[in-house]
Amino acid sequence: MIPDRIEDAEWLQRPAVQAIFAALDGAGGRTRAVGGVVRDSLIGRMREHADIDMATELLPVSVLQKAKAAGIATYPTGIDHGTVTLRLDETTVEVTTLRQDVETDGRHAQVSFGTDWVADAERRDFTINALYCHADGRLFDPLGGAGDLINGRVRFIGDAATRIAEDGLRVYRFFRFSASHGAEQFDPDGLEACRNAAEDLDHISRERVGAEMMRMLALPQVAKTIGLMDHLGLVRIEPGAAQALLRYESLGGRAATARMALLGRDGLDLRQADWRLSKAVITHAERIGEAASLLRRGDVAWAAYRFGEDAVEGLAVAASEDGWPRERLAELARELGRLPVAPLPVGGADLEARGMRPGPDMGAALGRIERAWVESEFSLTKDELLERIFH
C-alpha cells in the first residue's frame, strides 16, 4: 500500500510547526513540508533532530513579513535563493520559495520563483526527495516518489544525466541514498549515468564530497556501495578493504571513523586531501587504527590505556581486517571489558618529592613506572610503583 498521508509524525504535531504553517497560508496549501522530513516520516525512519524544510508559493519578502507578524523569529539566511530560516520555541524551519532552474553550470543554478509545485519537484534530484505534505499530513507526490520509497528504488527525476549535469554532487548522493534507502540496490539508469560522469567531477567542492562520504560511512550498510564506487574511481580504497567493511558490518559496526581506518590507514592523508576532512576526524581514525594494531598483537592493556573507548572500535577493526573467528574476538572483548583502566597514579611531582630532578632520568623513570602500571593491568598501587624506582 502506498500511503497518502503522514500519520503520527512528532514534528508535524508540534505547535510551533503548525503555527508556522498557519502563518504562511498552510491551510490553503500555499506552504508545505518537503524533502527528507516527509520522506523518512513515511517509512518511520526519522532521525533525531532532523531538519524541517518547507516549500512555499510565497515570495521571500512575504514569508518574512507574515512570520514577523505572527511573532516568529526570521533569519534571511539564503534570501537571494529564496530561503528564509524561521524559528519558534525550539523549532527551526527552512522555508524556500518554489523555484525552477533558468541556467546551471553544474555547481550553481540561476533560478526563478513561481507557484508551480510540479516544476519545483522536477528540479530536485530523486523522486523520493520530491515528496511534500500539507499541514494535516496529506501527501502531495507529483512524481511517484512514495512508490519508489516503499519499493526501495532511488531514481533520478527525469533524465539522470541531466540531473547530474546540473550538480555533479548528485553522483555521490545517488550512492548514499541507494545505501540508506535502496538496500544497496542501484537503479540501472542512474548507475549508468553516474558511471559516465565519474571522470568529470573534479569541479565539485572537496568539502561537499567529504560531507557526503562521511554521512555515507555512518550508515548501517555501505560496504557494497563503497566497493562499487571504488570500481568506478569515485573513491580510492586499499585491496581487501571492501571485504573488511563487510565483516565490520556483520559485527554491527557503523562508526564512520572506524570505516575510514578500514579503508586504509596509509591513505588517511590522501583522504584528508580528497575530502577536506578536519584534523580531528583524521586523528580519530588514526587512533582507532593504532588501537587495532595493538590489539592485533594481543597488547590489550596498552590499547585500553592509550586509547580508552576508541579501543572498542579498534577491536572491531582488527577483527574485520584479519577475519578473526568470533571466539577470538569474544575473548579479547571480555579482556578489554574487564580492565579497570585508570590514570597513572604517579607523576613528576611525586618523583621530585623523592629528590629526583626533572630531566632525562626522570623521563626514563616515568616510562618504567608507566610500563609497570600497564603490564600489571593497573593493579599496582602508587607506593608499589614508586618502590620500583627508589628501592
d(CA 143, CA 214): 29
Backbone angles phi, psi at 83, to 5 degrees: -110, 130
Residue that is last in its domain, among 110, 133, 151 = 151
Does residue 261 share a domain with residue 374? no
Residue that is last in its domain, among 103, 122, 151 = 151
How high is the pLDDT of residue 107? 54
Does residue 315 belong to any structural domain of this protein? yes
Q: Which amino acid is at 9?
A: A
d(CA 25, CA 65): 13
How high is the pLDDT of residue 356? 86
Nearest CA-CA partner of 168 in 207, 209, 218 = 209
Does residue 130 share a domain with residue 2? yes
Strands (DSSP E) contained in 276-349 are: none
How high is the pLDDT of residue 271? 79
Does residue 144 belong to any structural domain of this protein? yes
How high is the pLDDT of residue 103? 58
pLDDT averaged over 10-residue windows placed end to end, the chain, 391 residues: 87 96 95 96 86 96 96 92 94 93 56 88 96 96 96 97 96 98 97 96 93 95 95 90 94 93 77 86 94 94 93 96 93 90 87 87 90 90 85 67
Does residue 355 belong to any structural domain of this protein? yes
Give the relative orientation of helices 170-181 and 223-232 as an angle to the nearest 10 degrees. 150
Q: Find the domain containing 141 and state its range.
A: 1-151
d(CA 155, CA 128): 8
d(CA 174, CA 159): 14
Does residue 19 share a domain with residue 144? yes
Residue that is last in its domain, among 135, 151, 167 = 151
Does residue 147 share a domain with residue 105? yes
Does residue 10 share a domain with residue 140? yes
Nearest CA-CA partner of 24 in 76, 78, 61 = 61
Which CATH number do you get for residue 91? 3.30.460.10
Distance separating the N- and C-terminal Cα atoms of the chain: 79
- Is residue 138 classed as helix, strand or coil in its secondary structure? strand
Answer yes or no: are the C-beta atoms of 87 and 72 closer than 8 Å.
yes
How high is the pLDDT of residue 102? 58
How high is the pLDDT of residue 305? 93
The number of domains in the chain is 3
- The CB-side HSE value for 48 (13 A sphere, CA atoms) comes to 0
Does residue 141 share a domain with residue 73? yes
Does residue 264 share a domain with residue 133? no
Does residue 97 share a domain with residue 26? yes
Give the relative orientation of helices 300-307 and 279-296 as an angle to the nearest 10 degrees. 160
How high is the pLDDT of residue 265? 65
Does residue 4 share a domain with residue 146? yes
Task: List strands edge to edge, sheet with 91-97.
Answer: 73-78, 83-88, 91-97, 52-56, 31-34, 132-133, 139-140
- The CB-side HSE value for 46 (13 A sphere, CA atoms) comes to 17
Does residue 41 belong to any structural domain of this protein? yes
How high is the pLDDT of residue 47? 79
Does residue 266 share a domain with residue 359? no
Does residue 367 belong to any structural domain of this protein? yes
Answer yes or no: are the C-beta atoms of 243 and 230 closer than 8 Å.
no
